[in-house]
Amino acid sequence: MIKSERINFLKKYMVRNKKNIVIGLLSMILFSLITSPLSWIIGRTVDMLSSTNRSYVQLLQFILVILSIHVISILLSYIYQICFSKAQQRINKELKVDLLEIVFNAPMSILEKFDKGYLVSRIDESQQISSLLNPVNLSSVIGIFNIFFSFIIMFTVNSKLALMSMLIVPICFVISVKSTNKIQSGATEIQEASGKVSGNIFEDFNRIENIKILNIQNTRVSNIMNKMDKLLKKTIRQTRYLISYLQLFSLTNSFITVLILGVSGVFIIRNEMTIGGYTTFSLYLSQMLPAIQGLSNISITLKPTIVIIDRVLELFSLPNENIGMKKIETIDTICFSNVSFKYSDQSQLFLNRLNLSIQSGDKVLIRGKNGAGKSTILKLILGIYNVTGGEIKINGMLSTELDKINLRSKIGMVSQNIELYKGTILDNILYGCETSSEENVFTIIEKCNLKNYFENFPEKLNTELSDLGNGVSGGQAQVIAFLRALIGEKELLIFDEATSNVDLRTRQLIFDVLEKNYFSKTVLIVSHSDEKLSFVNKVVQL
């Protein structure tokens, strides 16, 4: 991935949240500046107390200064933590919303190439991008200032000891960088594997009913368990590296502290250094070593974040299916000229030079055996897929030039796979047509003679359905979807095997409604059976 792409991507979200980021950074730099002299002042206090002219007044002065620095630094730390947290949370939300929009608006032909679980875990992990604004990570960067200021003060206290520390510091840095590289490569592997496991669980939960019917629960659990076993081994190995690294670092710290104590002791005996000077020195050193560790740890956060940014950018590069701008009010004609279609480059042609002409008011029956391409025709009309050859014109305009959102708002469809959502039956009928009212639903139900249909539900139309519409039968779902399709006075109604599950009486009621032409001008019915529908004026045989 090109560096500038990543930078532009980050810039977009940073600019949107610039107020919090700028205030946060300024407070953090001020915090670093104001706390830098603290160790030096403590050292001076110790020197004053161990001298012959010690005084209560001076002690009070020192204490007041130290206390004021602490109070101001806590205030600054509060400000930057709040600002960065706000920016982090907002960027998280904005990124997820943007990704959702991109995925929802991508063409089906491209989305089919991705596992749904993969998409979910990519969207989920995008939140790690905002960890770049995590105060802990940022304070590691600001730590460079601390190291710099500490060195200057250490030089003024004792230049020889400061030079010695300068030699030790790079050793610490190298140990830290080497270990963090190892830890980081393991972390990326674990993250990848854990994303795959979550994706698998997500997909299995989506088809839980089929898994039960096929009685393969145990196979699915053991499949995921095998993957988790591998993940567990990797995680334990990783933890071992991490603990060893922390121990190594703490050993180095202890070694340096003892060394400095020894050397300072010699300087103090030779009267070349005061006890206060040693106090200042050791305090700075105890701040500097974690700062160096933090600095080298940045790569642990940065490298996986770059990988995630690249993966998110891959989703950002998905095209938008809705490139057409032309809007229509009515659907007067639909014309297929020599339309050919295949789902992917590798697949066969499912439609071959199909010609079809539908005028407003037509009642068309599309017939054909299973797999003949009936549903495919409907998806082409809806613009879910684009033709491979030939052209489809709606009102004389190429379907690719039409605004798909506008086109689909003119079409009501009852498909083979009916999606119901968590909410009442009424909510489900109104789903996707927020401008319609409950009154509308009651009128339509009455017109369709379906008033008694919902009598058996405990709360009638207000009966709650659980997620995915559990709580209604296949036939009842079709009736709900039928009513949903009628809402909003559509130009075209499409029924894809829409009555396959309803009983004969309800089926007759539905066809009566279509025949009476209450709700739309044009009707397209797909069926693989040879049924005779008196109101049909055009039959397409595939």
Ligand X SMILES: Nc1ncnc2c1ncn2[C@@H]1O[C@H](COP(=O)(O)OP(=O)(O)OP(=O)(O)O)[C@@H](O)[C@H]1O
| Residue 83 vs 378, nearer CB to ligand X | 378
Would you count residue 450 as binding ligand X (CB under 6 A)? Answer: no
| Residue 347 vs 355, nearer CB to ligand X | 347
| Residue 393 vs 528, nearer CB to ligand X | 528
| Residue 295 vs 354, nearer CB to ligand X | 354
Report the nearest approach of ligand X to the CB of residue 350 (Å). Answer: 4
Measure the CA–CA gap between 226 and 221, rounded to whole angstroms: 9
Would you count residue 529 as binding ligand X (CB under 6 A)? Answer: no
Would you count residue 374 as binding ligand X (CB under 6 A)? Answer: yes
Contacts for 526 with CB less than 8 Å, ≥ 6 apart: 365, 366, 374, 375, 377, 378, 494, 495, 496, 497
Report the nearest approach of ligand X to the CB of residue 527 (Å). Answer: 8
| Residue 371 vs 474, nearer CB to ligand X | 371
Q: Which of 83, 86, 73 is nearest to 29 (CA)?
A: 73
| Residue 113 vs 505, nearer CB to ligand X | 113
Measure the CA–CA gap between 431 and 424, rounded to whole angstroms: 10
Report the nearest approach of ligand X to the CB of residue 144 (Å). Answer: 54
Would you count residue 368 as binding ligand X (CB under 6 A)? Answer: yes
| Residue 355 vs 437, nearer CB to ligand X | 355
Would you count residue 528 as binding ligand X (CB under 6 A)? Answer: yes
Q: In degrees, to the nearest 5, what angle opens at C-alpha 81 toward C-alphas 80 and 83? A: 65
The binding track of 314-343 with respect to ligand X, each residue x by CB under 6 A or -, is -----------------------------x
Q: Which of 421, 534, 533 is nearest to 484 (CA)?
A: 421
What are the distances in angstroms from CA 164 to CA 154, 160, 252, 263, 281? 11, 6, 15, 10, 12
Report the nearest approach of ligand X to the CB of residue 406 (Å). Answer: 24
Tokens of 94: 């904005």
Report the nearest approach of ligand X to the CB of residue 498 (Å). Answer: 12
Contacts for 369 with CB less than 8 Å, ≥ 6 apart: 528, 542
The stretch among 82-90, 190-198, 369-377, 475-483 that binds ligand X (CB under 6 A) is: 369-377
Contacts for 231 with CB less than 8 Å, ≥ 6 apart: 190, 193, 194, 197
Report the nearest approach of ligand X to the CB of residue 113 (Å). Answer: 10
What are the distances in angstroms from CA 165 to CA 155, 314, 352? 10, 46, 79
Helix ranges (H only) for 317-434 are 374-381, 404-409, 425-430
Would you count residue 114 as binding ligand X (CB under 6 A)? Answer: no
Would you count residue 383 as binding ligand X (CB under 6 A)? Answer: no
| Residue 361 vs 371, nearer CB to ligand X | 371
Residue with tokens 């305009």: 397
Would you count residue 373 as binding ligand X (CB under 6 A)? Answer: yes
Residues near ligand X (CB under 6 A) are 112, 343, 347, 350, 368, 370-376, 528
